[in-house]
């Protein structure tokens, strides 16, 4: 891999390595991708108003969450199907997160199991649960996370149905997977990726084995997940999950301040302002634009995180200045892992942390706890 100086370099490396259909599955958004673009644009539209003549010879990026330290105000977002980009990518990111000292969130649709991640990357582990119609199966997943000593359960609530991702349609990428002349030619142009898949086989969403007894292949298993999302899941059902789970519960996918207020009142321990990376409802607000109202509604009762569009260390500073406790990293570490495994994932985190330090120094802020709205000129 060529030297990576920015997350954009890791994205380019991933694009060079992956067939177009696979890259677009990770990189793309819903419909016209307005929200996908808006997430990034929201960060770019904010400008710093730095302070000078501050002692920034030593900068502290660590913060605390749930009574424990984390190396910087960030955690890894749940990202499914990573093994389709590179075998072992889930474990690679989990190991990089553990080495740095930030939480890692395992997706229900990951290509590594709850237990495999816990054994390979013992660190601060969170488990993200999609709400399935099969509640007995969902309960077993949650119990497995408890037994494996995951610190928190993350419930994603912005996916009652799947988004319309048109890049996938145009690339003939679907689940269950079907070979067509278009995608066969696409795959053949990336021999390194093809060789790994032929040698190691198509990955399996290990946590979902047994969800659909008729699903024998990886692609049909993935399809069964979509059929099993529960669009009837509501606040009462969430309360039952809150009552049953004995540890921290994080609610992901909140955009409206009234929903954030209700989540706090019912006992959620943290909130993630998220629009699913622009992959679900196109036309939704950018998460950074929705953040201030959610922070105001929460009124410091629980930590608020934000995801979507984080590509630079300066983005962490902007998120904190607008009231976030931290950010969730999705595509940034994904691009690193699918391009160069654990080394690529670690490089993504190194880039973001060094950019965070430099931005804090240039803004005259030696400690993340001192970042506030006065640093922004807009």
pLDDT over 80 at 147, yes or no: yes
Could you tell me the pTM of the whole model? Answer: 0.94
Residue 221: band (very low, low, confident or very high) from pLDDT cuts 50, 70, 90: very low
pLDDT attached to residue 184: 85
pLDDT over 90 at 60, yes or no: yes
The yes or no reply on domain 7-50+67-354 and CATH 3.40.120.10 is: no
What are the C-alpha distances in Å from 16 to residues 22, 115, 261, 291? 11, 32, 44, 34
pLDDT attached to residue 161: 84
Residue 26: band (very low, low, confident or very high) from pLDDT cuts 50, 70, 90: very high
- CB atoms near residue 214 (< 10 Å): 7
Q: For a pLDDT cut of 70, what percent of the chain falls above it? A: 94
Cβ atoms of 290 and 274 closer than 8 Å = no
Question: What is the per-residue pLDDT across 94-128, written as a single tens digit (0 to 9) for each?
Answer: 999 999 999 999 999 999 999 999 999 999 999 99
Calpha distance 141→145 (Å, rounded): 6
Active-site hit among 87, 169, 256, 276: 276
Paired tokens of 193: 């990726």
Hey, is 249 helix, strand or coil? strand
Q: For a pLDDT cut of 90, what percent of the chain falls above it? A: 83
Calpha distance 331→308 (Å, rounded): 9
DSSP label at 28?
A: -
Kindly report the average pLDDT of the chain as a whole number. Answer: 93
Active site residue 276: yes
Question: What is the per-residue pLDDT across 338-356, written as a single tens digit (0 to 9) for each?
Answer: 999 999 999 999 999 999 9
Angle formed at CA 305 by CA 302 and CA 309, multiple of 5 degrees: 170
Q: Which residues pair with 229 in a beta bridge?
A: 132
Burial class (CB in 10 A: 0-12, 13-18, 19+), 161: exposed
Delimit the domains of the chain by residue range: 7-50+67-354
pLDDT over 80 at 218, yes or no: no
pLDDT attached to residue 204: 87
pLDDT over 90 at 313, yes or no: yes
Q: Which residue has the higher pLDDT, 225 or 348?
A: 348
Cβ atoms of 102 and 74 closer than 8 Å = yes
pLDDT over 90 at 316, yes or no: yes
Question: What is the per-residue pLDDT across 253-312, written as a single tens digit (0 to 9) for each?
Answer: 999 999 999 999 999 999 999 999 999 999 999 999 999 999 999 999 999 999 999 999
Question: What is the per-residue pLDDT across 160-178, written as a single tens digit (0 to 9) for each?
Answer: 888 899 998 899 887 656 7
Question: What is the per-residue pLDDT across 172-211, written as a single tens digit (0 to 9) for each?
Answer: 887 656 778 888 889 889 999 999 998 998 888 899 888 8
Angle formed at CA 162 by CA 30 and CA 270, multiple of 5 degrees: 95
pLDDT attached to residue 226: 57
What CA dihedral angle connects 190, 194, 196 and 198, to 10 degrees? -170
**Which whole number is the average pLDDT over 311-322?**
98
Longest CA–CA span in the chain (Å) reads 66
Cβ atoms of 126 and 104 closer than 8 Å = yes
- CB atoms near residue 104 (< 10 Å): 26
**Which whole number is the average pLDDT over 35-46?**
98
Instruction: Report DSSP letters for 159-183, one per residue.
Output: -SS----HHHHHTT--SS----HHH
**Which whole number is the average pLDDT over 324-339?**
98
User: In the block, which residue shows the tokens 């891999």?
Assistant: 1
């Amino acid at each position: 891999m060529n030297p990576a100086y920015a997350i954009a370099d890791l994205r380019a490396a991933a694009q060079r390595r992956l067939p177009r259909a696979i890259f677009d599955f990770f990189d793309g958004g819903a419909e016209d991708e307005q929200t996908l673009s808006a997430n990034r644009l929201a960060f770019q539209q904010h400008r710093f108003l730095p302070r000078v003549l501050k002692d920034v010879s030593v900068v502290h990026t660590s913060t605390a969450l749930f009574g424990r330290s984390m190396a910087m105000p960030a955690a890894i977002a749940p990202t499914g199907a990573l093994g389709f980009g590179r075998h072992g990518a889930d474990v690679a990111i989990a190991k990089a997160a553990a080495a740095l000292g930030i939480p890692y969130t395992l997706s229900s649709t990951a290509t590594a199991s709850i237990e495999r991640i816990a054994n390979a990357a013992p660190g601060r582990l969170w488990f993200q649960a999609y709400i399935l119609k099969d509640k007995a199966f969902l309960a077993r997943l949650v119990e497995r996370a408890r037994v494996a000593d995951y610190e928190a359960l993350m419930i994603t609530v912005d996916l009652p149905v799947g988004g319309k991702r048109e890049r996938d349609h145009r690339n003939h990428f679907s689940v269950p997977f079907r070979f067509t002349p278009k995608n066969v030619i696409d795959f053949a142009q990336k021999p390194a990726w093809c060789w790994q898949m032929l040698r190691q086989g198509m990955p399996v969403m290990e946590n979902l084995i047994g969800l659909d007894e008729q699903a024998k292949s990886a692609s049909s298993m993935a399809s069964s997940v979509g059929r099993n999302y529960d669009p009837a899941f509501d606040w009462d059902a969430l309360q039952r999950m809150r009552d049953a789970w004995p540890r921290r519960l994080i609610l992901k996918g909140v955009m409206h301040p009234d929903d954030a207020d209700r989540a706090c009142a019912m006992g959620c321990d943290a909130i993630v302002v998220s629009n699913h990376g622009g992959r679900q409802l196109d036309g939704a607000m950018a998460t950074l634009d929705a953040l201030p109202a959610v922070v105001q509604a929460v009124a410091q009762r629980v930590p608020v995180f934000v995801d979507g569009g984080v590509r630079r260390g300066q983005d962490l500073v902007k998120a904190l200045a607008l009231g976030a406790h931290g950010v969730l990293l999705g595509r940034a570490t994904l691009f690193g892992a699918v391009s160069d495994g654990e080394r690529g994932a670690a490089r993504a985190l190194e880039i973001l942390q060094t950019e965070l330090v430099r931005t804090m120094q240039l803004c005259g802020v030696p400690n993340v706890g001192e970042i506030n709205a006065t640093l922004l000129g807009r």
